[in-house]
Structures are given as structure tokens and as C-alpha cells.
Structure 1
Amino acid sequence: MIEDCGQSVDTMADRRQLLVEMRAQDLDSIRLSTYRTACKLRFVQKKCNLHLVDIWNVIEAFRENGLNAMDLNAELSVARLEVVLSTIFYQLNKRMPTTHQINVEQSISLLLNFLLAAYDPEGHGKTSIFVVKMALATICGGKILDKLRCKKHNKSLSYF
């Protein structure tokens, strides 16, 4: 029982790691809320190496993991979310030159913990597919026009 509590505390600490690092950047001192939000999202994007992933690679990862055929209201377990993120980052490393390889495990861990802290604060271990698709599509790198085109093309987001 005590070990379970210790693991729970460690898990919550892991989930908050990115937020603690963000606070250390003192981004809350930015006055305008839109700039502050943009800087925080950019921090998360760069820290998790999502600036290197474009929308088309995210869509491909969704397809490889069968998320494009699932109901948007369906729940996605933490294990399944981790598999999706693994697909994204391992595919990214395959495309990168050997001199610019990323730490895949760290990127997966940071992004997984950020998504869980943001969208599963109670720790149920599940989040909706719609939330995951929108979060990853929004925070990944690439042209905003491509992102909007994908979202508008199929309003139901089945394209994702």
C-alpha cells in the first residue's frame, strides 16, 4: 500500500516536470495573455521536439494506430497513447540525419506526461481520442494552413 502511494506521488511529479521547467522560464511575467500562451505552447513544442513533426506525420501515426477509424468520443488508454507517441517520435528519428537524432524516450515521456497533466488531471488513465487528436494537431510543427486544411477537409476529423 505504501509503495502504491509512492508510485502515485512519483507519477504526479513526472506529470508536472514540464510545468515546473516552464515556470523556471518565468513565462508568466509576459503581460499579454496571447503572447504568454503562445510562448508556453512553443516551450512545450520545442521541449518535446514536436516542432520537428508536421501535421502529415501526425496523421500518418493516427492511421498506423487505427485512430482514424475510431469514434472521436471513444476513450484512449495511457498505454495506447504512449504507442501513438512512440510511432510519431520513432518515425521522426528515422527521417532525421544521424547527427540530429533526438532522445525518443525523453520526448515520449515529456509529451505523455504533459498531455496527461492537461487532459487527465484526476488520473483516470484515459482521455478522449478527440482531445488527443486536437492537442497533437495543434501543437505539432508545420504550416497553420496545412493544419486548417486537414481540419476543414473533414469536419468530423476522420481524416486524422
Structure 2
Amino acid sequence: MGQHHQTQTTCWDHPKMTELYQSLADLNNVRFSAYRTAMKIRRLQKALCLDLLDIGVAQNTFEQLKLTNNSQPLSVPDVINCLTSVYDGLEQEYKDLVNVPLCVDMCLNWLLNVYDTGRSGKIRTLSMKIGLLSLSKGHLEEKYKHLFSQVASAGGTCDQRQLGLLLHEAIQIPRQLGEVAAFGGSNIEPSVRSCFHSKKLFSALHVTASI
């Protein structure tokens, strides 16, 4: 994605990403929304080689790079630095499956399309983390734990604002695929209120399970 690297703009797609989006559009004839969304995300996950990324390894990478301030905006070079660390590690384990430059370009392209709709050339640290963790591999309960930890306070709890942040970032993934209507639309406030009303905070993470 040479133009991205030189100008830090987000106005075009890598040719391979364009091909991927065209292939995802072919899945629109799948009738049931949950199956259709799952198939799209699985195809996206494999195209980005994130099905090879262990969720614990992803979390360790964030910690090693000292990405602790989730509200901090990341520039394109910042995101590239993180993605390069991720894919360099994957290449060592899956040499025949991972093309580091292509994977970095594709994943950068995807993250910007999902989380930089205003074309600012920056995304929040939290956005990048949620995107990568959501598409990494791991048991569902483990994913819940890592996703929840991104917004939880030091005491391991979260308030409505923190939970809203998590659900807002998570719902951007099906939104970008044109599937947000199947999950209640982009307004996550009813889900947050329902979750706190029932006093079962972790149940809200079932929204992310739909992703």
C-alpha cells in the first residue's frame, strides 16, 4: 500500500483488498444473516492471516510495544510498527503462509477502513486492539476475557461508558461489512442498558460473539 505509506491517506484500497471485498460481496446471497456475517468474517480473517494469530500472543505484542493508553491516537507508521511485529512473529512460525509486507498492507487497509471512516490517517489504540483481538484465534471465553480487559478498570469491572466503548468498537466490524442491521444497528446504548439492568455484565459480550 505504497500510497498509504507515503501520504498517510486512507482514500484507496490495496488491489488485493479490492479483490477480497468483491469476493465477500458474493456471500450476500447467503440467506441467514448470522451465517452470512460469520462467513464474511472468516474469509476476512483468513485473508489477513489473523486465523494464525494466537490471542495471547497478540496481547503480549501490545504489552511489549507499551500500547497501554487505549485512548491514544495511532498514526499510520505507529500501526505499521505494531502490525510488522505481529506478522514477523507469524512468519517465523508459518513461513509458507505469511507474506509480511502484503499482510501488513492488507491489515492496515482493513483497520483504516473500519476505524478511520473520517479519513484522518489515525485510529485509536483501542480500535486497533479490538480489531486484531476480534479476528485472532482463541477459545470464545478467552476472547471475552481479553476483549473485556481492554476496557475494564484496575479492579476488573467496567461501567456503562467502558462497556459502551467495547461494544462500539466491536460493532464496527460487521458495520464495515454491511451487516450491522442484523445486530441491532450501530446504536449500542440499548444493549448497554439491558446488560446493566439485568446485572449480568458479561452477557453483553455475547454481542461480540456475533462478530
Q: TM-score, normalised by structure 1?
A: 0.80
Q: Supply the distance in 2 between the matched residues of 1:89 and 1:136 (Cα, whole angstroms).
A: 12
Cα displacement string for residues 111-135 of structure 1 (whole angstroms, at most 9, x for unaligned residues): 1101101111221011111111111
Corresponding residue number in structure 1 for 2:79: 81
Q: Output aligned runs, 1:18-33, within 5 Å.
A: 18-25=17-24, 26-33=26-33
Question: Which of 90, 93, 99 is the equivalent residue of 2:91?
Answer: 93
| Deviation, structure 1 residue 106 | 0.6
Q: Output aligned runs, 1:49-128, within 5 Å.
A: 49-67=49-67, 69-70=68-69, 72-96=70-94, 98=95, 100-128=96-124
Corresponding residue number in structure 2 for 1:13: 12
Higher relative contact order (CA 8 A, sep 6+): 1
The root-mean-square deviation of aligned C-alpha atoms, in Å, is 2.7
Q: Supply the distance in 1 between the matched residues of 2:150 and 2:114 (Cα, whole angstroms).
A: 26
Q: Supply the distance in 2 between the matched residues of 1:138 and 1:32 (Cα, whole angstroms).
A: 21
SS of the residue 1:14 aligns to: coil
Q: Supply the distance in 2 between the matched residues of 1:145 and 1:19 (Cα, whole angstroms).
A: 33
Q: TM-score, normalised by structure 2?
A: 0.62
Query: Does structure 2 retain, via aligned residues, the 8 Å contact 1:15–1:116?
Result: no
| Deviation, structure 1 residue 102 | 1.4
Q: Supply the distance in 1 between the matched residues of 2:73 and 2:136 (Cα, whole angstroms).
A: 22
| Deviation, structure 1 residue 145 | 1.9
Paired residue type of 2:107? L
Query: Does structure 1 retain, via aligned residues, the 8 Å contact 2:50–2:137?
Result: yes
Q: Supply the distance in 1 between the matched residues of 2:149 and 2:23 (Cα, whole angstroms).
A: 40
Corresponding residue number in structure 2 for 1:142: 138
Paired residue type of 1:61? T
Q: Which runs of 5+ in 1 are unaligned?
A: none
Q: Number of paired residues?
A: 149
Paired residue type of 1:59? Q
Between the aligned residues of both structures, percent identity stands at 27
Paired residue type of 1:110? M
Query: Does structure 1 retain, via aligned residues, the 8 Å contact 2:87–2:100?
Result: yes
Paired residue type of 1:57? V
Structure with the largest fraction of helix: 1
Q: Which runs of 5+ in 2 are unaligned?
A: 157-211
Paired residue type of 1:85? L
Query: Does structure 1 retain, via aligned residues, the 8 Å contact 2:80–2:108?
Result: yes
